[in-house]
Amino acid sequence: MIEDEGTDKVGTPDRVLRLSDFGQPQPGRVIAEMRAYWSSLRQGRAIPARADVTPLGLRATLDFAFILERIAPGAARFRLAGKHLIDLLGMEARGMPLCALMNPGYRGRLSDVLETVFQGPQIVEADLLSPASYGRPELTGKLLLLPLRSDLGDVTRALGCLVSVGEAGAAPRRFDLGAERADPVIEGGRVLTPSPSALGMAEPPATWRPAPRPPIIEEETPEERRARFRIISND
C-alpha cells in the first residue's frame, strides 16, 4: 500500500493508494490490439499464416497471447502460451488442452465454440468468469480466438489471448464460459453457431437399464426325469 501523507488547505484526509489499483490489464485494450495485429498479417488474404506470427509483433500483448493447434474436432492444445496463462494454471501451459482453463461443465460448450473458429473459419470473442472460492477471489475476463493457416494451408491453428482481471489467488484458476460473439473473417460472410447440444437443447440421454435376467430353472429330481418317459414293451 502506498500512502500520500499530505493534506490540502481545507483538511482533506490523507489519500491512500493501493498497489492493486495499478498494473491491472485492460481486457478491451488487449483484445483490440490483438485483433489489429492479426488483421495486419492478412495482407489481402482472408486468414494469415501461423508462420507470419512473431514475438516481436506480439510484444504489446505477449503475456496474454497463445497459439493453438487443432488436434481433433473441438479440441486444441497450446503450442505457445504467455506468462498470464501460466500464472492462472500454476504450471507450464505448452502442450495442455485449451479446455484445461474451463470448469468441467463448460468444456463441451468451449469445444463447440472452438470448432466454429476452425470450420467457419471465424473470429470468436467470449466473456469469462471464475467464481470466488476459498483462496480464490472472483476473476472476470475475456477470451479471443483468431484462425490461422498452418504450413500446409489448412485452418488448424489459432492465435488468441486470454485476459483476466482480479487477484489470481491459488492456482489453478478455471472459468465459466459466458456470452460469445462471432464475426466472419470476411465482412458479410456467414457465421457458424455452436451445435444445439452445447446449448442444452439435445435430447436427454437414455436411462440405462440392466438386461433382464434369465429365469432360474430348477434341476429335476431323478423321480421327475423318470416320470417323463414311457416304457414300451414288444410283448
pLDDT tens, position by position, 146-197: 999 999 999 999 999 999 999 999 999 999 999 999 999 988 888 988 865 4
Give whole-number Cα distances, 70 to 51, 117, 118, 122, 188, in Å.
16, 10, 8, 15, 26
Tell me whether residue 222 is in a domain. Answer: no
Tell me whether residue 178 is in a domain. Answer: yes
Tell me whether residue 6 is in a domain. Answer: no
Tell me whether residue 1 is in a domain. Answer: no
Dihedral sign for Cα 55, 56, 57, 62, please: positive
CA distance 64 to 70: 19
Tell me whether residue 125 is in a domain. Answer: yes
Question: What residue numbers bound the domain in which 51 lies?
Answer: 25-185
Chain centroid to Cα 210, Å, comes to 36
Tell me whether residue 107 is in a domain. Answer: yes
Tell me whether residue 157 is in a domain. Answer: yes
* pTM, two decimal places: 0.74
CATH number at residue 106: 3.30.450.20
Domain count, the chain: 1
Q: Give which of 162, 128, 130 is closest to 145, Cα–Cα.
A: 162
Residues of the chain with pLDDT under 70: 1-23, 195-235
Tell me whether residue 77 is in a domain. Answer: yes
For the chain, the 3-state helix, strand and coil shares in percent, each to the nearest 5, are 25, 30, 45
